[in-house]
Amino acid sequence: MLDASTPSEIDIDALRQVAVPAGIKFQKLGFLSYAGVMPKITFEVPFPELAERFTFDRLLTRHDFDLDNTALPGNRDITESHWKKISDGIQHTDRPYLGTITVALAQEYCEIEDLQKVSEYIRLVMLTIRDNAPNPVIEDGQHRIKMASYVWPLVKDATEGEAARVREYLERTSVELTVLMEGDGDVLSTIFVRMGSTKPISPNLIAVMDKSTVQNQLGLYVTRHSRLLADRVSYLSVAASKALASKKGRTFEDLYPAAAVRSAAASMAGVGVRDRTPEQRENLIAQIVDAKAQAEGVTREAAIELVGREVVSVLDYAYTRLPGWREMSAAKINATEFKKQYVHSSAAGLHVIANVLAAARSTGVSAHLAVDALARLPWERSALRKAKNERGEDIMVHEFFEGTLAATSFDAKEGKWRAGTGGATRSNYEPAIDKVLRHLARQDPGLRPLGERQAQIDIGLVSKAGPGRPRKNAA
């Protein structure tokens, strides 16, 4: 017989209101500390557990940085040669120290049980991550994780020989893993760039990933909105870029590197070639953007977008007018064919176009008029003429860009003269800019201001004090 105090039926509504905790993804004893205002927890992970559980397909997540979704924390692409080099090294040492692997997860998903105070800002805690939480994302250490998941299966069952020795050392090895309790993708991207010390981060990835500078924000805006640059700017390896585009049902064509696009965007916005160092470029573009913000009564962020729209508008017009770009816009050629056929397929060529348009901007010349004039120049590699070398021998040279954007030589394999790409240094593209400006000024009265000294001063080809270009600042 039931006791009188025992309910005769189950209260279903009450049960529905009971919060049943989700299962545990992982739970670790660690130290809670801070990086400024950002909390972080560090704990130890045995090497076998790193190799078998803290992997990309189980407890951790990585993504190639995606320009179309910058809110999603992303990584540089994994370089096979790099993780294999680590794999080789880890198997030939009795001190396999791997440093700290850093991951990130929004604080809302981190359950923290406070156990003991260690010092003012350090506490011993129990960290619990539930099954219904997303996996932490990799901030630093993806090549080491890739290495661990590769090496451990090779030696885990070994009982003799060199493999057994490696297994013994790795079983005794643990790795510090730090969870940054941060979920803001922009913050994590900036932290990632600043942490990139074990393997230098490509300047092209920094150009689109690090939003802490005005020049990067402007370059990113232009990259994302320009029709010319859509799916054609490289910031990962070509293989990784193609794979990422394929996932989205698109095609990637390697045209210009992101760092070159960033510089070209800053040039067109008014920096010209005055940026002798990255720091100087940042100061100049910040001044331009801040002046825009003041004139329009908007924030710096809004001003960056306004300047970016102006740059994109001119690039979109040039995309339909300049030889090569025009053919790509009409889908008559692809980026690979463009590179084979035109001298402005190089970063130096992009700089020449950008700085001529910067000169037009500074002198009040119509950008469309300048683009139309640029379109009449012989950009094709096949635009060659006869000449004599210093020994009086017959040679072929490019009609206009020889010694700057083009370096013509005889291709014995093909049995013909071919205009190759000139160097990407200032000593190559600055003379080309100067030559183009003077040529356009002579060809069209409406473009005469481009040939005047003030235009050269405005974009930094010469200094106000006298002839010659500005002196390079000490690094």
The residue ranges of every structural domain in the chain are 24-195, 203-377+424-459
Greater confidence (212 vs 468) lies with 212
Q: Is 360 in contact with 366 (CB distance < 8 Å)?
A: yes
For residue 269, the 8-state DSSP code is: I
pLDDT tens digits for range 91-128: 989 999 999 999 999 999 999 999 999 999 999 999 99
Task: Give the per-residue pLDDT at 414.
Answer: 85
Go through 250-273 and write b for each residue having 16 or more CB atoms within 10 A of its CB, e for each that does not: eebbbbbbbbbbbbbbbbbbbbbb
Whether 395 contacts 389, CB under 8 Å: yes
Structure confidence at residue 465 (pLDDT): 56
Amino acid identity for residue 289 in this structure: V
Report, as an integer, the average pLDDT of 448-463: 93
* Residue 85 structure tokens: 């080099």
pLDDT at site 8: 53
Mean per-residue pLDDT, 363-371: 96
Give me the amino acid identity at 38: M
**Overall average pLDDT of the 4-14 stretch:** 58
Q: Where are the alpha helices (DSSP H) in 196-319?
A: 203-209, 214-225, 238-247, 258-266, 278-296, 300-319
**Is residue 277 predicted with pLDDT exceeding 80?**
yes
Q: Which residue type is seen at 158?
A: A
The answer, yes or no, to whether residue 305 has pLDDT greater than 60, is: yes
Contacts of 107 (CB under 8 A, 6+ apart): 39, 181, 182, 183
Q: What is the pLDDT of residues 160-172, one digit of tens each?
A: 999 999 999 999 9
Band (368; pLDDT cuts 50, 70, 90): very high
